[in-house]
Chain A
Amino acid sequence: MKKSISIFAAAILMLLLPLTASAAARDTIKIVGSSTVYPFATVVAERFGKSTKFNTPVIESTGSGGGLKLFCKGIGVEHPDITNASRRIKQKEIDNCAKAGVTDIIEIKIGYDGIVIANSKKADVLALTKRQIFLALAPEIPHPNGAKQLIKNPNVTWRDVDSSLPNIKIEVLGPPPTSGTRDAFAELAMEGGCKTFKWLKDIKKENKKRYKAICRSVREDGPYIEAGENDNLIVQKLNANPKALGVFGYSFLVENSDSIQGSFVDGVLPTFENIAQGDYKVSRPLYFYVKKAHIGTIPGMKEFLREFTADKTIGQDGYLTDKGLIPMPSGEYSQFRSAARKLSTLSGLN
């Protein structure tokens, strides 16, 4: 009996302990954010932890939006120091940050990520245009006779979309709506194809909401298959089903170049050079955001920034390029590198 009382006391102690401990200082950098930046940020963090005397930063993959939400909760050791994003911060998020006292934010672009539409090597390489992608995957498409009228997408095979394409069923495995990759795919590929219809483009001026609903939605009647956030799974499914296409980040194409191949989009293949030069249009910038107020309080922040923006990391031949990151052109790079050195903060989106 006495024993169980002492166990009880220990349990209650354990419950109270963190209340005092969490107020104490933190000596490890905490990073949250995009699952697309995660594979790059973790490599930098690991090198940083192993080559300096600082602890290895802890990185949690929460998605871009989730990361910014956590990031903007406030200043202090209980909040993350850095958040990764596979898109730029929104004005609304800057305002939310400011409301919680997070005003000085350093914005660093680390490079670009291509979004590839790929299939198994067992099948032929496909040459698609954005317009064809839109016609194959939008829930509603313009009437084929050219009338300014939307009809439910009747296309079943790629041949239905365009007579130059093979006669196989449209099956596209891609990420779910919670994913940043999906957002970028919808914005760059789908909307890009949508814009080629002039009358649809004109809707943007009148009714932005309706325009987005038409151009950025993905059909839900079967051809687009949500395969979860796990890009490896998509790659495996493509190997099992050579007729299917998959949508994922360029880094997965790099790692699996022996079994899958990227499709041409508007006549351009997703290769390192094409994405870096901006010829391959379905690509997006990757960022991370730093709380300036935490520099100096959390040890190693300045050094981590320096490591992440070093030439050996995100420069033309940096080690992140081996992991599939597309580096920025040198002019843009030096701009962000000096921003990291001078710790210059974001002053509105331009």
Chain B
Amino acid sequence: MSNTLQETQDISEIVNRGLKKRYRSEFMFRFYGVVSILFAVVFLLVFFSSIISKGYSAFTQGELNMKIYLNEEVIDPDRLRDEEEIRYANFDKLVLDSLKTYFPEVSSRKERKELKSLVSSGTSLRLQSMVLNDYSLIGQEIDIWVRLDSDIDMYLKGNIDVSLDESQRRISDNQVRWVQELQEQNLISQNFNSTLFTAGDSREPELAGVLGALVGSFFMLIITFIVAFPLGVAAAIYLEEFAPKNRFIDFVEVNINNLAAVPSIIYGLLGLAVFINFFGMPRSAPLVGGLVLALMTFPVIIIASRAALQSVPPSITDAALGVGASKIQTVFDHVFPLALPGMLTGSIIGMARALGESAPLLMIGMVAFVVDVPTSPLDSSAALPVQVYLWADAPERGFVERTSAAILVLLFFLLLMNSTAIWLRNKFETKW
């Protein structure tokens, strides 16, 4: 009796001696865990705050309230109301005339040029299309908000240092004075920049938008899904449920895992060689982009779908086979429907990766300046990540904030896709 007590005491002594060390190692492990998570969070915060702080200002755009007299003598002096004639009319003059009503003292050629470049060079084209849509506007005075030139907008947003000498900045002393006078008359305000979401690319920052790139990315993802999902799921079902266990199938499986790790630029080269050079598909088209991204997403979908199929418990299969269902009935009527939510979740995450991919698109000509918003997968188009790349390379100052804004749009869609995947998983997840 005393002997066993003695033994117990010995053991507890040994335990007690080691206890402190064990507690400490546990504490240290938790501490390292918290530190690494904090590290990740800090990086994310820095990343997001830098993008948001640079990009938020792109969602507004300085605009000037203008009264423009659509002078018939300038637009259509012969009163022909002919489209071709009106296309060649000097709408720039109307804009300048309107601006001159605020600053009648402007006379020299240099000053006129400076005055005209207060507002966006797209203004005259906007007037042109307004008149072409509605001839009755000719001869009337219209009251519209027109976008300011990007340089003036940058000044209003505080990105141009006016304390420097005039020769060293993009806007002149005259322009600064005029803008201040217009501000005092409450004619300038920062309005929501709807152009960013309704226009294609442009070389004038104030006229540039992401719609073209968005539509291009949308077409590509649709094609990626249509091609990669059925093929990936079919391959996964075959490999998981029907394939014989032999060396050849092992070899195929290893290579599918390898394919998932192949750098994406290689898929771009493959797309260039096969789709464009061999099949003669058009360059810069979302169709080719979608096919390339489908190749890239395909192995990811196979892996995700196989994992989903494996998670269906064997009891389901056994029960189905037990009541006399054939193998194919078992798979398609019981296993496949139960695995489908998991497959979809995996595919959406794979597609989100495809959405953010730019490297393979470089090779197939999607890094292109495309103004017109594409209307079919065969039209030339850019894609969201490519638009970010193109804008980051543009010399104009106004594209700095727009680059960050485009990144925000891209991140928004990535988040949307990933949260859809999580939502799908939570909604359809079956607890066995």
Do A and B come from the same complex? yes
- Interface of A toward B, CB cutoff 8 Å: 1, 4, 7-8, 10-11, 14-15, 17-19, 21-23, 26, 28, 30, 38-39, 42-43, 45-46, 49-53, 55-56, 58-61, 78, 121, 229-232, 251-252, 254-258, 319, 323-324
Q: A60 near B368 (CB under 8 angstroms)?
A: yes
Contacts of A30 in B (CB 8 A): 283-284, 380
A4 with B393, Cβ < 8 A, contacts A51-B125, A78-B280 known: no
A277 to B210, CA, bound (A): 40
A11-B284 in contact given A51-B87, A229-B393, A251-B395 (Cβ < 8 Å) = no
Known: A10-B226, A255-B395, A258-B164. A60 touches B367 (CB 8 A): yes
Task: Select from chain A the residue with minimum beta-carbon distance to B371.
Answer: A56
Say if the beta carbon of B169 comes within 8 Å of chain A. yes
Which 10 pairs, one residue from A and one from B, show the smallest C-beta to C-beta distance? A56-B371, A60-B368, A58-B380, A59-B369, A255-B395, A18-B281, A42-B369, A258-B169, A7-B230, A43-B203
Question: Residues of B within 8 Å of A, CB-based: how many?
Answer: 50
A42 contact from B125, B203, B227, B229, Cβ within 8 A: B203
A146 to chain B, nearest CB (A): 42
B161 within 8 A of A: yes
Q: Are B230 and A8 in contact (CB under 8 A)?
A: yes
Q: Is the CB of B284 within 8 A of A21?
A: no
Q: Tell me the complex Cα distance, A84–B406, Å.
A: 28
B171: nearest residue on chain A (CB-CB)?
A: A258
Q: How far, in whole Å, are A49 and B279 apart by their CA atoms in the complex?
A: 30
Q: Nearest A residue to B285 by beta-carbon distance? A: A18
Contact A11 B395 (CB under 8 A): no
User: Which residues of B approach A to under 8 Å, CB–CB?
Assistant: 87, 121-122, 125, 128, 160-161, 164, 167-170, 202-204, 223, 226-227, 229-231, 233-234, 279-285, 287-288, 291, 332, 365, 367-372, 378, 380, 392-397, 400
Q: Closest chain A residue to B403 by CB distance?
A: A232
Partner of B371, one of A26, A46, A229, A319: A46
Contact of B164 with A11 in the complex, beta carbons under 8 Å: no
Take A78-B280, A258-B164, A258-B170 as given contacts and tell me if A55 and B393 are in contact as well, using a CB distance cutoff of 8 Å: no
Question: Which of A14, A19, A61, A254 has the most chain B CB atoms inside 10 A of its CB?
Answer: A14
Q: Are B280 and A22 in contact (CB under 8 A)?
A: yes
A7 to B380, CA, bound (A): 25
Q: Which residues of B contact A14 (CB under 8 A)?
A: 223, 226-227, 287
A23 to B131, CA, bound (A): 38
Please, could you name 11 A-B residue pairs with CB atoms under 8 Å apart, sorted by A? A7-B226, A14-B223, A42-B369, A49-B371, A50-B371, A60-B283, A60-B284, A61-B369, A231-B395, A257-B170, A323-B395
A4-B372 CB under 8 A given contacts A30-B283, A232-B395? no
| Inter-chain contact A255/B397, CB cutoff 8 Å | yes
Which B residues are CB-close (under 8 A) to A229?
A: 393
Interface pair B230/A28, CB less than 8 Å apart: no
Q: Whole-angstrom distance between the alpha carbons of A38 and B396 in the complex? A: 13
Asked if residues B234 and A55 are in contact (CB atoms below 8 Å), the reply is no
C-alpha spacing A183/B332, complex, angstroms: 62
- Whether B203 lies near A39 (C-beta < 8 A) is yes
Point out the residue from B169, B204, B280, B378 that lies within 8 Å of A257, measured CB to CB. B169
> Cβ of B168: which chain A residues have Cβ within 8 Å of it?
121, 257-258
Tell me whether A324 and B378 are in contact in the complex, defined as CB-CB below 8 angstroms, given that A19-B280, A49-B371, A51-B87 are known contacts. no
Query: Is the beta-carbon distance between A4 and B230 smaller than 8 angstroms?
Result: yes
Chain A contacts for B284, CB-based, 8 A? 30, 58, 60
Structural contact, A252 and B395, CB atoms closer than 8 A? yes
Q: Which residues of A sit under 8 angstroms from B392, Cβ to Cβ?
A: 230, 232
User: Given the complex, which residues of A lie within 8 Å of B279, measured CB to CB?
Assistant: 18-19
User: Nearest Cβ distance between residue A225 and chain B, in whole angstroms?
Assistant: 18
The answer on a CB contact under 8 Å between A22 and B230 is: no
Residue of A26, A53, A232, A324 most packed against chain B (CB within 10 A): A232
- Across the two chains, which residue of chain A brings its CB closest to B281? A18
In the bound complex, do residue A50 and residue B169 qualify as a contact, i.e. CB atoms below 8 Å apart? no
Give Cα distance in the complex from A255 to B203, angstroms.
13
Query: Given A28-B372, A39-B203, A257-B168, 18 more contacts at CB 8 Å?
Result: A14-B223, A14-B226, A14-B287, A18-B279, A21-B282, A42-B203, A43-B203, A50-B122, A50-B371, A58-B284, A59-B369, A60-B365, A61-B368, A78-B282, A230-B393, A232-B393, A258-B164, A258-B168
With a cutoff of 8 Å between Cβ atoms, the chain B residues found around residue A121 in the complex are: 168
Specify which of B233, B282, B291 is in contact with A22 (CB 8 Å cutoff): B282
Question: How far is the CB of B401 from the nearest CB of chain A, in Å?
Answer: 13
Which residues of chain B come closer than 8 Å to A1, judged between CB atoms? Answer: 332
Q: Is the CB of B380 within 8 A of A28?
A: yes
A11 touches B231 (CB 8 A): yes
Q: How far is the CA of A78 from the CA of B288 in the complex (A)?
A: 14
Measured in the bound complex, the distance between the Cα atoms of B288 and A17 in whole Å is: 12
Chain B residues whose CB sits within 8 angstroms of the CB of A252 once the complex forms:
395
Q: With the chains together, A17 CA to B223 CA distance in Å?
A: 12
Among residues of B, the one whose C-beta sits closest to the C-beta of A80 is: B283
A230 to chain B, nearest CB (A): 5
What is the bound-complex CA distance between A323 and B369, given in angstroms? Answer: 17
**Choice from B229, B365, B395 contacting A39 with Cβ under 8 Å:** B395
Judge whether A58 and B369 touch: CB under 8 Å. Answer: yes
